[in-house]
Structures are given as structure tokens and as C-alpha cells.
Amino acid sequence: MPTVIQERIQEWLTPVFDKQTQDTIQTMISENPKEAEDAFYKDLEFGTGGMRGIMGAGTNRINKYTLGKSTQGLSEYLIKSFPEEQISAVIAYDCRHNSDTLAQTVAEVFAANGIKVFLFSSLRTTPELSFAVKQLNCHCGIVLTASHNPPEYNGYKVYWQDGGQLVPPHDAAVVEVINATKYSEIKFNADESLIELIDDKVDIPFIEASVKNGSGIASQEAKDDLKIVFTSLHGTSIKSVPPVLEKAGFKDVHIVEEQAEPNGDFPTVKSPNPEETEALEMATALANKIGADILIGTDPDCDRLGIAVRDNNNEMKLLNGNQTMAVMLDFLLSQIQQDSGFKGNEFIASTIVSSPMLRVLANSYKVEYKEVLTGFKWIAKLVKDFPELNFVGGGEESYGFMVGDFVRDKDAVTSTLLACEIAAYAKSKESSFFTMLEDLYKEHGYFKEKLISLVKKGISGAEEIKQMMIDMRENPIKEFGGAEVVYIEDYQSGKATNVKDRTVTTMDLPNSNVLIYYTEDGTKIAARPSGTEPKIKFYISVQSEVENNDLLATEVKLDAKIAGLLKELDVK
């Protein structure tokens, strides 16, 4: 075992750490040294979505000490950043094991540092936490969640005054303070008078704001004619989505009861990930039984949603994040165009790994399109950086969407309502959500995407991912699918290369470990190691004009093209 790991383990066997933690580590060393090595070989790092990892003892685990250290460092940064102010923070947590106790620990460390804490008394959604930061005029917010990760995971996301996640310059500055903080410096002895439990103080205004931003187009008659199936996948959305739909006037809502009870084991699914068809099997069965028009499932902290709608064969079809996002943005833009007309300051936003179709869509409405790095915090940052502009909506391919700017993170509560509003409105016009998507393809071209995630666990996995990115940079791929690569964007170096004329330009985005290839036929392939999971992701996008309005033939052609690209990349 490397010396640095041994030193970290010895530190955790000192009286700074409680006896239960020490006993757990001793057992790990004797019974499973490989697990001990993995638990201590590195410190958990802040990625695109904060800090996320397996729960347990160790520097590479989520526990009271790693979260305590982060909160202690954050407290010191807040005190330094806001002198002479009574600093306040709001904390929410999801359904995962230990989320409530970890949230209490975070609250106690804040309070021990003299920071006023608003702590939700039971689980709440991530978008409500983002909303609460501004609603309560707090300096920061914390949500304890690990999104759709397996049951053994938990996580910690930090939000700033604007309700968005940490971005420059605060993110690096906070991490610097956290890294300099010693475990022995964590203050756990809270001033309990500084901790206030909250409930409907935020619930009611959040529901009202969601209804205001996500509805208002479909008539009540149209809403009455829409049959909805909803599943919370054992997560927090059961607290917000049903009351929001009810307040907005949707009455025919059928909840998957087997998945309605919050449960960190997620007993009815392999993964509580609404991106996956398997996670929505129960909801699909119910939708088919009752003849539902739309099915929606959300992940455990309710910041992402999966939508299935009736296709041309009357079968429930799960749309991907790019498809859902395109329909939602087109609907929002079309309503502005019809109602008041564009004022010239509107913009929509997405990420560098999302579908190129979104830029085409923006151009068709003559509104600005802004593209940012992966991670919804960058979209929220746009709202703050461009106050003179009107943010209509935006999202990312990983099933996250934000309607307007009253929440500064992806929001499956309001997005669920918007999806139902669109479906109801379309049905009242003898159309459908699916038909609206097909109409976009016919107008702008058929864009099809595929995401492949390769899991590479542990120390060796991290090294393998690192080497894959090095190889792709040092030996750039020259063609994909018989089409020549004409443009390469390397976000780590911040340089974009025109392969044809060998010119190099500087990109105006923060550095990130992402590499994107573009070919002469419009194919786009991005490679990106995950910031929160032991994965490397490949995002593939292909496109084609739709000839003779034959969408099926076009899709078959694009599917074959994607299959060929996967074979070339040697990934499955």
C-alpha cells in the first residue's frame, strides 16, 4: 500500500475521529485492504455537480468528516466574504440513506461557526433548495443528494446567493480554503439557537412560482382531457410535483403508488434514472393500462425528468433529453412570438455536448443561443452574467431543463408541469407532443444522438480514462464514418483547430477536460470524463435532411450511421 495512503489511514485512527469510524477502518484494513486503499487513495473532489461519492469511512468517501471539512472551509470563506453580516444558509436533502443525519451535521458545523441555518425538516427537491436561497435571502445553500447514483452513494452540492451552484471565482476559492482545512479544525459543537426548521415557509411560494412559470397556455378543458402518469422513483418529487400539477388544474394524474414512498434503496428499480427505459417500466405498464397520453418520471432529487409520450403507433416512447429540450424550447419561443413578439434580448442556452439542433432552432426564431460547459451551473451563470437579457429556457442532454430564471438550476418540478401543458395544448389542437417533435425534424433536419458511458472504477480505472484522453489528444482522429474531421475543439487547452487550414482560435470558455470532433457531414463526437462518477462519456450526434417527409427512413439511416461510429470507436 503506498505511503501516502498509509499516512491518511493513520490520521483517521487518531482521537480526532470517533471510535466508530476508527473501528470501521481497522476492520476494513484487516478484512478488505483493497477497499481501504480505495477509501483513502484520494480526496473527494468537487466536479460539475459538487461532491459525490460512496458513503463510508475515508477521505474518498462521503461521511460526517469529509462533509464537515467542506462545510468548515465554506463557513470560513463566507465569513471572510461577507464581513459585518449575519450570514445565513439553507439546507435541503433527498431520500438517500443518511441524508437527514448528514444534513444535520452540515447544519451543526455552520451553526458552530455562527452562521444562521434554515434546515428543511424533511426531504425536499433540489429546485426548491435553489429557490429557497433567494426566497430566504441566504448567502448560500446546500443540498445533500447523489442524483441517480446507486444506493450506496450520497453527495453535497453548494449554491451561492443567486441560487446557482458555485462558479468562478468562488468555486476555486472555496475549494482552496477547504483543502487547507484540517479535520481537527472542524467545529461540530453547534449553537442550536441558530438552526431553524422550515416547511411551508418555502413550499407554498415555490409551488406558486412553479405554476406561474410552467403553465398558462392550455385551457382548462384541454387539461381535463389529458391523462398523466407520474412516478417519483422513490424520490423527493412526490413532495412537489403532484401539488404543482393539481394547482395548475391537471386533475387526471395517476401516480405509480409502488414507487411513491421515498426510499433510499430504490427497491423497484436497478437505477432511479429517468433516462433509462427500465426505470420507467412500472409507469409504462400503468400508462398502457389506463391509456395515458404522457408519462413522466423524475430522479431522486427531482432536478431531471424523463418523458414518454404516444408515438405514431400509439405506443409509449421515451424521449431523450435533447428531444424533450427541443420541443420545450420551441414551445416557449413560439408562445413569445405569438403573444408579445420578441424584444430582441431573448436567449436560450444549452451545453457543448447537447444537440446541434438547438442552435438551429434559435436561429430560426432569430434569438441568441449561448453554449456553455457541461454542468447546469454554467447555464445559471449566464442569467447572472447577462442581466440585460431575457432567459427563456435552457437545458442539457442529460434530461435537465430550466424554465425562466426563478430557479437557478435544472428543475424537474416546473419542467414536468410545462411538459403536461404542452401535451394538453397539442392534444387540443389535434396534435401531440410527439408530432411536435416530428414537425421540428421536418423543418430543421433530423438530429439523432447517442450517449455511451464507459465505467472505469478505482485507481486503475482513473488512470485508464486519463490515458484515453491523452491518446485522443496526441493522436487526433482524422475521420469518422468515412467523413473527414474538419474541426477539433479541445476545452482543456482552450483551443479550436480548423483542420483544413490549420488555423487555431481561442475559445471563450473555462478550461475543461472535453474533446470534440466535427466532421464535414455534420457529425459531432465529444469525449468527456465524468466530473462526479468513474466514467468516460462519448456523446455522438448525427444529422440528415428529411427526404420526402420520410422520418422513419431517415431514422434508420442515422441509426446505421451511429452503429458504424460505435464500431470505429470500439465502444458499446
Q: Where are the alpha helices (DSSP H) in 396-483?
A: 412-428, 433-444, 458-474
CB atoms within 10 A of CB 469: 18
**Out of 75, 88, 130, 147, which one is annotated catalytic?**
147
Which long-range contacts link 451-454 to residues 24+ away (Cβ below 8 Å)?
451/397, 451/537, 451/538, 451/539, 451/540, 452/537, 452/538, 452/540, 452/566, 452/569, 452/571, 452/572, 453/530, 453/535, 453/536, 453/537, 453/538, 454/535, 454/536, 454/537, 454/538, 454/571
**Alpha carbon distances (Å) from 481 to 122, 357, 484, 487:** 52, 20, 8, 15
d(CA 90, CA 137): 10
Phi-psi region of 261 (alpha: psi -120 to 50; beta: other; left: phi over 0): beta
Copy the grid coordinates of residue 113.
Answer: 461557526
- 499: number of Cβ within 10 Å: 17
Residue 188, judged by CB atoms within 10 A of its CB (0-12, 13-18, 19+), counts as middle
Phi first, then psi, for residue 526 (nearest 5°) are -115, 140
For cell 430543421, name the residue: 444
Which grid cell is 239?
A: 413532495
Cα 541 from Cα 321, distance rounded (Å): 13
Note if 340 is an active site residue.
Answer: no
Q: How many CB atoms lie within 10 A of CB 287?
A: 24
Q: Hey, which residues are catalytic here? A: 147
